[in-house]
Amino acid sequence: MPSRWFRPANRDVWMMGVLNCTPDSFSDGGNYVDVEKALQHGQAMRDAGAAIIDVGGESTRPGSKPVSLEDELQRVIPVIKALTAAGCTVSVDTMKAEVMRQAVAAGAALVNDVSALTFDAESLQVVAESGVDLCLMHMQGRPETMQLNPEYRGVVDEVSLFFEQRITACLQAGIAESSIVLDPGIGFGKRLEDNLTLIKATGEFKRRFAMPLLLGLSRKSFIGLVTGAAVDDREVETAVAGAVGILHGADILRVHDVALQGRAIRMASVLS
């Protein structure tokens, strides 16, 4: 059975709306720590066209510090319960197996792990037993240190090798191949040139793995390096980078401003 996260024929690519229930995320930290505000924003993103709402309780911005399991659970589980009760499809953005376990019990349909299930030894088993979908992202290092002199000899080949290893580990653990989505990890332990190369290599990843590909480009620091735009003024550049990704075969774009990016995605989708 093919993955449901491939871009549907003659349809726009999927949108994943970002819902950071954190005080310190790089773009919208502190905006949605209240459950009611988070619910309203998640519903608004769903109504604007987001197919899935990605709920996170631990910032993974460069230099961010880890949070305790208790704090992360307190931030995300009530929000996931509220969103799923309101009919939203929810993913949980976490590296912790216990957060994954409780998030799935609360209704999450996808685990989005920036460590590709390498951070917590129990996470492979949790995802395998749950049967939910999974996004495997590449990251060099950990959020706290990932932007301290990242280095690659060939970023596409190195990310591909990582994907091969993690896909194998997932299949051996009993995770269905059709449940896996790949994310090259734009901005996660990458230099500017690495990020640009990976976006342009979207089609190459699709050819190598025949799996849905997610791109998280929204408001990332590489945009600021190219244009000098501040974090809260990068939607135009996000749209352009996203369009390039769509033209090369991306299936899902992870975005902050769903209404605005939805317009750009519509235009890029009809041209691709």
| pLDDT tens-place string over residues 19-30 | 998 875 445 544
Which residues sit opposite 215 in a β-bridge? 253
Q: Quote the CA–CA distance of 221 and 29 in Å, as a whole number.
A: 16
Mean predicted confidence (pLDDT) in 4-31: 81
- Give the three-state DSSP class for 250: coil
pTM tops 0.85: yes
Q: Quote the CA–CA distance of 84 and 255 in Å, as a whole number.
A: 20
By annotation, the residues acting in catalysis are 220, 254
Confidence class for position 1, pLDDT limits 50, 70, 90: confident
Helices marked H in the chain: 35-47, 69-85, 97-106, 123-130, 155-173, 192-200, 202-209, 221-227, 235-247, 258-271
Give the range among 26-30, 243-247, 259-263 with minimum mean pLDDT.
Answer: 26-30
Domain ranges, ordered by start, for the chain: 14-271
Segment (H or E) for 162 = helix 155-173
CATH class of 14-271: alpha beta
Mean predicted confidence (pLDDT) in 188-202: 97
pLDDT tens figures, 134-147: 999 999 987 877 78
For strands 110-113 and 90-93, give the pairing. Answer: parallel
pLDDT tens figures, 57-82: 998 877 777 899 999 999 999 999 99
